[in-house]
Structure 1
Amino acid sequence: MTDTLDPENWTDTRAAAHRMLDAALDSIGNATNGPVWQPLPDDLKAALQVPLPQQGAGVTAMQAQAQTLLPYGVGNTHPRFFGWVHGAGTASGLIADIAASAMNANLGGRDHGAIYVEKQVVDWVRQMFGFADAASGLVVSGTSMATVIALKVAREAALGLTVRSEGVGAHRLVGYASSQAHNCVARAFDLLGLGAGALRPVPVNGAYEMDLSALAEMIAQDRAEGLQPFLVVGTAGSVNVGAFDDLKALADLAEKQDMWFHVDGAFGAAGVLSETLRPRLKGIERADSLAFDFHKWLHVNYDAGFVLLRDGAAHLAAFSSRPDYLQAAKRGLAAGNPWPVEYGPELSRGFRALKIWAQLVEHGTDKLGAMITKNCAQARYLARLVQDHPALTLLAPVASSIVCFRYGDSDAVNGEIVMQLQESGIAAPSVTTLDGQTAIRVNITNHRTRNSDLDLLVEEVVRLGEALT
């Protein structure tokens, strides 16, 4: 036994790494073939349920076992993965991950090359959304974490920085979001001590967009009852149907009411790169904060989220805290201030920024935007297929990349159709409920999807529906 974890035989390690890379590339290259999803077999489950190893098996054995997992992912690399909003990733994402793993950099702080990559990504994101140089940003795990960070800055803007030490006390802050908003907003209220009940769900109109008249009435009523409205959340791409709130009108309202304007753009904010969706995002440049994911419609490999704040100074003030062991310096490794840890809760942060940087460098925003435009066109194509079939019913307007429909009039049958599609590996849509009806929910955020995949989906939904009824 050696006194290091470095390989005793670098040749064996190099060979194992090459086998793994080849297998990974084969897996991605064959993503259009085979089942969309298949459960992990019992023998592989058993192999993962063993006692804590005391003696290592070596790199060759480890690599072989890891390789067996490749066919058993969620399925989002496959062109007929339609459930939930997942990006499909890219083959070259492996290259960035290899470099990031080799550097093993902690992006909590200090002055090193990886930090400058993240700074470049932050600057590019500012440009994407039309924010000024004074804005700040941070690469995070996803929109859930980004929302917590953004709403913490909003909370401090409403109550003052003393809330960091004294807590929210008796203050009764309330915020507003569409009834179709993602649950991460309510969770952020919970985590920040505001209480999930302080987030008011605002009714939506027939297009599943926030009802602005209802919002204004709710704010007025809360003010009359002695509450403090401080936040309005605009949704850019709702999780159920992909709807977009009127961001320009919300920006006007927030300015008039002296409230913080946050945009939940988990997947829809990327639409600023698409000719199709860019008009629906007017007003996003006026947001006080924005949360979105690169790992959805921009296809950066998981995980890669982002939070963007208009007021970089307020962002810094809401998080900065440097204990003695993290003292800043003008020279040496402790330079490069302020550090990312001063813009969020995590000191230990992986080099997520590299795979974002790599995706933008390799493909450019024009091509990434074209993939979004293509998916929106495919959603409209699917909607036409549904409307043209007498057994199918479209349940919601198609605003972006999500199509909700059903076969016949039985909730149980529609739920079973989705289950059989998933279990057979033919396709993987999901289920949601709209106006009390079970819907087959198809989300298209996959650069590998073709119209023929949608033709097959409709054929199989009808076939299964007929068999079940």
Structure 2
Amino acid sequence: MTEPVDLDPEDWEAFRAESHRALDSMIDYLRGLRSRPVWTAPTEEAKARFNRELPAEGRAFPAVLEDFDRYIKPFATGNIHPMFMGWVQGAGTPVGMIAEMLAAGMNSNCGGRNHIAIDVERQIARWMAEAFGFPRDASGIFVTGASMANFLSLLVARDQAYGDRDVRLNGLCAQSGQLIAYASREAHNCVRQAMELAGLGARHLRLIPSDDNRRMKVSALRHAIAADRAAGFRPFLVVGTAGTVDAGAVDPLDRLADVAHTEDMWFHVDGAFGALAALSPKLKPLVKGLERADSIAFDFHKWLHVPYDAGFFLVRDPKAHKRAFAADAAYLSRAPRGLAVGDTWPCDLGADLSRGFRALKTWMTIETFGTKKLAACMEQCCRMAKRLENWIETSENFVMRAPVALNIVCFGVRGDDDGSLAREIVMELHERGEAAPSLTILDGVPAIRAAIINHRTHEEDIDAMTLFLEAALRRARKEPHDFGALVEPHGPGKTRLSED
């Protein structure tokens, strides 16, 4: 007789003890993060650990946890560290970590059916509709991130443009006249990719020039639409950006809404991180016009610090949203009672049927901290960006490369015409583990980019960053310096961030 088999622990109390040790270790890891480098490159030993054959036999759970501590935990991206300023990546929170654990324990599939996780996701949609000034019945769905949400927005807009000709049934040839979309030259590349994936073609995305503040020029948009209509094309979509990827600029959303609605076009806003500025009374005026969008893409895993991943797609018209994705399938049949109760399931609002419980970590974050404290952290990031900007503007060695709209500071080295010094500074700061800015290209020249999004980044971190920059520039120029004694220990660990 075959013995029954399952994957539960043989000794639940031993498992409990090991699990508590693992949790305590991660809490210590978060609490002491200032005592560690921002980033450490994976060692050859660590890389080799993940180049093994598929194991047929398992190992003891404590041994697997030991491998995590040795080969994985020390070599993370670093975005939880207050000196990580390279990309717009949220820092997470201990609360979010616990929420992820609880969601994993429930292991809910949130594609649909009658269970409470679906109601939690709907609560998030209602909260965001309230925050952005959308109707209460606006339709929303969790996705991996804003890139996917932007793709879904294009599909909904495309479906609306085809109308009764039904692009889902009849394909792109169901109507004449090429569809044309419009976005700023500063727009994220995922907008272009969405045009490609939707079969509309990247060449039919018009990239509109931006002004000196890197905001879309509305006059140029109007001209482009008129020219395309005169040529027999069919303008159907305007994409505004709330927080551009390079400089954090916000397009004139109110004026873009005027154009889109006058021209009978879908108005979508890529608000990957900037849209959530609407939660702050101080920052909300910067995203005026967001409330007039037909759809919004944004990420909770950026400025709300929900653990990755937690993107969201919100649509003003729930019928338009559902029409673009809902499909009949026998295994998705609904019933008046039981698990199959429900008219609209998340699988009717996107392409995924297998979906994790992303809503729980988002709900727990908002419930635990409230929008006031979350907004205060956003405002703090903007103040820190201004602090860095003020230092650069008085610096003899560094110069601003773009205006600061929200929390992103783009700058370079004076006289560094080809950006080679900027590149060397960024790479060296990474390798030394002191700080993690990133590089971007502005007007054809590399620039240093500090995206200050971490709720842990405070004034002393910005001041330390300025010292690191000066020392890195001296090293890049091979100039003598004595920097180590200038940086005092700070933070809970009271450990030096750097020594030359």
Say whether the fold is shared (TM-score over 0.5). Answer: yes
CA contact (8 A) 1:407 1:461 kept: no
Residue matched to 2:460: 452
CA distance in 1, matches of 2:26, 2:170: 50
The one-letter amino acid paired with 1:361 is E
- Determine the structure 2 residue equivalent to 1:13: 15
- Secondary structure, counterpart of 2:54 in structure 1: coil
Q: Give the deviation of 1:64 after TM superposition.
A: 1.6
Q: Distance between the aligned counterparts of 2:367 and 2:468, measured in 1? A: 39
State the number of aligned residues.
Answer: 469
Identity among equivalent pairs (%): 48
Partner Cα distance (1:165, 1:67) in 2? 51
Matched, 1:205 2:187: no
Whether 1:107 and 2:134 are equivalent positions in the alignment is no
Counterpart CA distance in 2 for 1:429 and 1:113 is: 41
Partner Cα separation in structure 2 for residue 33 and residue 196 of structure 1: 46
1:431 aligned counterpart, secondary structure: strand
Match of 1:94 among 84, 94, 97: 97
Gaps of 5+ in 2: 478-500
SS of 1:370's equivalent in the other structure is helix
Partner of 2:168: 164
1:213-252, aligned counterparts within 5 Å? Answer: 213-252=219-258
Q: Deviations over 1:130-169 (max 9, x none)?
A: 1112310001111011111111110000012510011112
The Cα offsets for residues 250-286 of structure 1, whole Å up to 9 and x where unpaired, read as 0111111111000000000010112332111111111
1:466: Cα distance to partner?
2.2
Distance 1:122 1:58 in 2: 42
CA contact (8 A) 2:125 2:138 kept: no
Q: Deviations over 1:397-428 (max 9, x none)?
A: 11000001112322111100000000000000
Q: 1:434 aligns with which of 437, 442, 451?
A: 442
1:39 aligns with 2:41: yes
SS of equivalent residue, structure 1 residue 328: coil
CA distance in 1, matches of 2:415, 2:18: 54
Matched, 1:61 2:68: no
**Contact 1:24/1:70 (8 A) holds in 2:** no
Q: Give runs of aligned pairs for residues 333-412 of structure 1, distance below 5 A.
A: 333-410=339-416, 411-412=419-420
Within 5 Å, give how 1:264-343 maps onto structure 2: 264-343=270-349
Contact (CA 8 Å) 1:93, 1:359: kept in 2 or not? Answer: yes
Letter in 2 for 1:34: R
Deviation at 1:233, TM superposition (A): 0.6
Measured in 2, the distance between the counterparts of 1:391 and 1:226 equals 52
Contact 1:263 1:287 in 2 (8 A): yes
Please say if 1:422 is aligned against 2:424. Answer: no
Structure 1 residue ranges without an equivalent (≥5): none
Once structures 1 and 2 are overlaid, which stretch shifts more, 274-283 or 355-364? Answer: 274-283
Which of 44, 47, 50 is 1:48 aligned to?
Answer: 50
Asked if structure 1 preserves the Cα contact closer than 8 Å seen for 2:177 and 2:232, the reply is no
Q: Secondary structure at the match of 1:237?
A: coil
Structure 1, residues 41-88: CA drift from partner, whole Å, max 9, x if none? Answer: 221211121110001112222222123322211000000000010001
- Provide the secondary structure at the position in 2 that maps to 1:403: strand
| Corresponding residue number in structure 1 for 2:194 | 188
Could you tell me how far apart the structure 1 residues matched to 2:207 and 2:213 are?
16
**Equivalent position to 1:256, from 262, 273, 277:** 262
2:124 match: 121
- In structure 1, give the amino acid aligned to 2:34: T
Distance in structure 2 (CA, Å) of the matches to 1:28 and 1:198: 46
- Secondary structure of 2:340's counterpart equals coil
